[in-house]
Amino acid sequence: MKQQINIGLLGLGTVGSGVVHIIQAHQEQLQHQIGCPIQVKKILVKDFEKKRDVSVEREVLTDRPEDIINNDEIDVVIEVIGGVEETKEYIITALNNKKHVVTANKDLMALYGGELLSIAAENGCDLFYEASVGGGIPLIRSLVEGLSSDRITKMMGIINGTTNYILTKMTNEKASYDDVLKEAQALGFAEADPTADVEGLDSARKMVILSTLGFSMRIDLDDVSVEGISKVGLDDIEYAQQFGYTMKLIGIAESDNGRVEISVQPTLLPNTHPLASVNNEFNAVYVYGEAVGETMFYGPGAGQLPTATAVVSDLVAVVKNMRLGVTGKSVILPQYDKQLKEKHEIYSKYFLRFQVKDEAGAFSKISSLFADHEISLEKLLQLPVNDNGKAEIIVVTHQTTKQAYEEVVTKLRDLDVVYEVKSSYRVEGE
């Protein structure tokens, strides 16, 4: 039985500093849980002289990853440097050297999670990644352990704090997308290059991880239908509010009889839906199970200490497994073959906004087009446009297939009475 657990930390940025802070500040509680001290033995950094939030002795720092991943004294490697290809090789080397790994790297796990988990199992090692989705929300552990006896049918939620902050400000303060994005960047909620967040790629990677776990099916990034918020305008948000909806970037993963759909897109939710009141940088995910029904997980989706808390919680789980002699036993590879829904199997309501010629017979042509595809309208609003001879129509459809709806939108654009299709959004949660 080891008398001390030695940690090698890859990275001492925001999250890495938070990990060191928690290990230092909570040492007494951690020892009580696991039965021995935890020591940070080596930390990989780029700049030895950089000022940091935590105090670390100079000899603990290194700029050589091999000082950690090939170090016989280190038991657990914690990876918080980000990146994919190079980081993947570090983790593979660590696992092959019989070191357990904790990572917060959603990009890595979305692309190579299955491969890395297999390597971990082959080496009798644990590989945990709670912090990769939802920051401090214990979502992955809940899927793997708390809901393991249930059959998950749907997961739906807000899993990117940057986009939720932007949409919250646009909704509550009527500020433009560009203005709010600049504010988010100034506050540190958005990166200098915000593409991964605002175009939905960050959320898509998280949905890959959740779907693979929730449905026990190997989901790839290419399986996710992705649309970001960069084209969302204030007009869309205001019209949606007139119908009683709130705009959120929502990740959806749904399974019916073993066939699944995974998407990330701007979505309208009824104002009464709990996700509609999740604001600013907070995250929340609904999980639907056949037995448990609806459960909701809510909390900070990012930030130094929330994310570091998830990392250290994984570390505690690894050490407990080490002391019980059961490391490498928790990996459960996907059970089912991947079966993706076709467009005619995906049902939803839709919000559609378009401009038409304000003339007799125009709406009759439009109504006939919807009727031909067996799409009925639940809500309708028609408004004059300042330009002469134009009217704006906003509709919310009843449930219809994605295939039928996309065909209608395509044909609308070709109608001689339609000037422009302005926007289109999925409606969920009713």
Q: What is the DSSP string of 292-347?
A: TEEEEEEEE-S-HHHHHHHHHHHHHHHHHHHHHT-TT-------B---BPPGGG-E
Q: What does the angle CA 144 – CA 145 – CA 150 come to, to the nearest 5 degrees?
A: 85
Label the pairing between strands 152-158 and 245-256: antiparallel
SS3 211: helix
Cβ pair 167, 232 in contact under 8 A: yes
Buried b (16+ CB within 10 A) or exposed e, 345-367: ebebbbbbbbbbbbeeebbeebe
Look up residue 109 and give its two tokens.
């796990």
Choosing from 42, 169, 206, 349, the catalytic residue is: 206
Buried b (16+ CB within 10 A) or exposed e, 263-300: bbbbbbbeeebebbebbebbbbbbbbbeeeeeeebbbb
Cβ pair 197, 230 in contact under 8 A: no
- Integer-rounded Cα radius of gyration of the chain: 24
Cα–Cα distance, 221 to 342 (Å, whole number): 17
Q: From 81, 51, 38, 88, select the one nearest 63 (Cα to Cα).
A: 81
Examine the residue annotation and report whether 231 is marked as an active-site residue of this protein: no
Under 8 Å CB-to-CB from 209, ≥6 apart: which residues? 106, 109, 110, 113, 129, 132, 133, 140
CB atoms within 10 A of CB 85: 9
Q: Which are the catalytic amino acids?
A: 206
